[in-house]
Amino acid sequence: MRTEIENALAVLKRGGLILYPTDTVWGIGCDATHPDAIDRIYKLKKRAESKSMVCLVNDFKMLQQFVEEIPEVAYDILKFAAKPTTIIYDDPIRVSENIIAEDNTLAIRVVQDDFCKQLCRKFRRPIVSTSANISGQKTPGSFKEISKEIIDGVDYVVNLNQNVKSEKPSAIIKLSKDGRVKVIRE
């Protein structure tokens, strides 16, 4: 795993795209602070820029560096979540503008997967994580289901868990500063 982390880190640091296993499904990733890399993902996925993407962080401390104000309930939700849970936060900071949604929100997941956790920790910045498919197509349930177009469009494919069937996408919850909680996907 150490070699895969080092290889992925090198690509992320130079603004490249990686294809990697996450705590949910296989993802296309890049530096969430690098606008050109994010643009490449939008182009590769043929995805409208108005549709924002998820970012991964390794712990609460990192999360606090990229969200202006984290509602207290977020800590409880994440602490007691039975499955990977992505939270949409108001007022993200220190990330590229082109990853922030039109309503000034950003979806962020504190990962539990060991590979992703170590990669985020060593990279010290959020990593984009969007499903490894062309926008509108079915999310691949395993590496074998990822299209050649996606594989050819990234700079590095992580050589871990390629024979493992991926879990379902994460739960998504939107937390607003005014205290509203909305479940987007269970």
Per-residue pLDDT of the chain (186 residues; tens, 9 = 90+): 999 999 999 999 999 999 999 999 999 999 999 999 999 999 999 998 878 899 999 999 999 999 999 999 999 999 999 899 999 999 999 999 999 999 999 999 999 899 999 999 999 999 999 999 999 999 998 999 999 999 999 999 999 988 888 767 889 999 988 878 899 988
Tell whether pTM > 0.85.
yes
DSSP string, the chain: -HHHHHHHHHHHHTT--EEEE-SSSEEEE-BTT-HHHHHHHHHHHT--TTS--EEEESSHHHHHHHBS---HHHHHHHHH-SS-EEEEEESB-SS-GGGS-TTSEEEEEE---HHHHHHHHHH-S-EEEEESS-TTSPPPSSGGGS-HHHHHHSSEE--SSTTSPP-PPPEEEEE-TTS-EEEEE-
What is the model's pLDDT at position 52?
Answer: 81
